[in-house]
Amino acid sequence: MMVKPFKKLYYFIALSASCILSCQSCSTKKEDGIIITPPKPTEIVDKQWSFEATPTWADEFDYTGLPLDSKWDYDLGGSGWGNNEKQYYTNSINNVNVADGKLFITAKKESMNGMAYTSTRLVTRNKMDVLYGRIEVKAKLPSGRGTWPAIWMLPTDRAYGDWPKSGEIDIMEHVGYDQNNVHFTTHTEAYYFKINTQKSSTKLIPDASTAFHIYRVDWTPYAVRGYYDNVMIFEFANEGTGYKVWPFDKRFHLLLNVAVGGDWGGAQGIDDTIFPQKMEIDYVRYYKIIEK
């Protein structure tokens, strides 16, 4: 059927308005009847930062006994730690000690304060808190179903709010039921595991529990990059859209721990015959970023 000219003009105007509104809906939101256009992302330039050749903070574990209290503190207790973990964290030499040039974190099958296992969670909070830089840890991992060792970082000040708003960097995570698959992950409000948006990479390391390997993060204003044995296996770049994606512009500290069970580590149960299990650390080193 033929359409008259004025009807053609009406349809054109209506269609154009519809397209404009459709396009606006893709890039704007409405608050109290006012259309708000979000700011454009800030362009973050990779300046190809490098790092100082000598660490400004390190522990080579060239002593014996408990870890140095000038460098390390402890998270203590058995609250489940947000993951339904089964261990009670102690500062006992039975769970953490330095000997033969290495740090040992030992998870044991023993009851304490209502929990069925003991272990240790070492932290550098208020001892070594850093913004950007390179952290390198040489470690040998425990094995066996139910173990969940980690080398990771948390925000010291939680400037953007509680987890995951202020971020998390997992330099190394491993679960014993999935032997030799080692994971590097970052969590933020926009990208984290409970909404299945986490940024993560997995590397097969066939002798993760029988040999030492180097687990490293290079953290700059542009990106968090992960390296295993000096090969890059992970990169998460700053999108320039604010803290919900990139809260990594505040100081963080390092954590070393061996958890038992939990939502991930205990997903296939816990084999009590494997304990005690140890994570061995040869050294921990932090190198400052060279500003540009």
Residues marked active site are found at 168, 173
Do the Cβ atoms of 280 and 212 come closer than 8 Å? yes
Q: Which residue has the tokens 């997903």?
A: 267
**How many residues can be counted in the chain?**
292
109: how many CB neighbours lie within 10 A of its CB? 18
Indicate the DSSP class of residue 40: P
Triad 58, 140, 134: Cα angle to 5°: 35
Q: Rounded to whole angstroms, how far apart are CA atoms 169 and 177?
A: 22
Phi, psi of 242 (to 5 degrees): 110, 180
Distances (CA, A) of 123 to 41, 89, 180, 236, 253: 34, 12, 25, 24, 7
Q: Going by C-beta distance under 8 Å and a sequence separation of 6 or more, which residues neighbour residue 192?
A: 164, 168, 198
Q: Rounded to whole angstroms, how far apart are CA atoms 282 and 106?
A: 15
Triad 282, 288, 291: Cα angle to 5°: 160
Q: Which of 156, 182, 158 is nearest to 170 (CA)?
A: 182
Q: Rounded to whole angstroms, how far apart are CA atoms 106 and 259?
A: 10
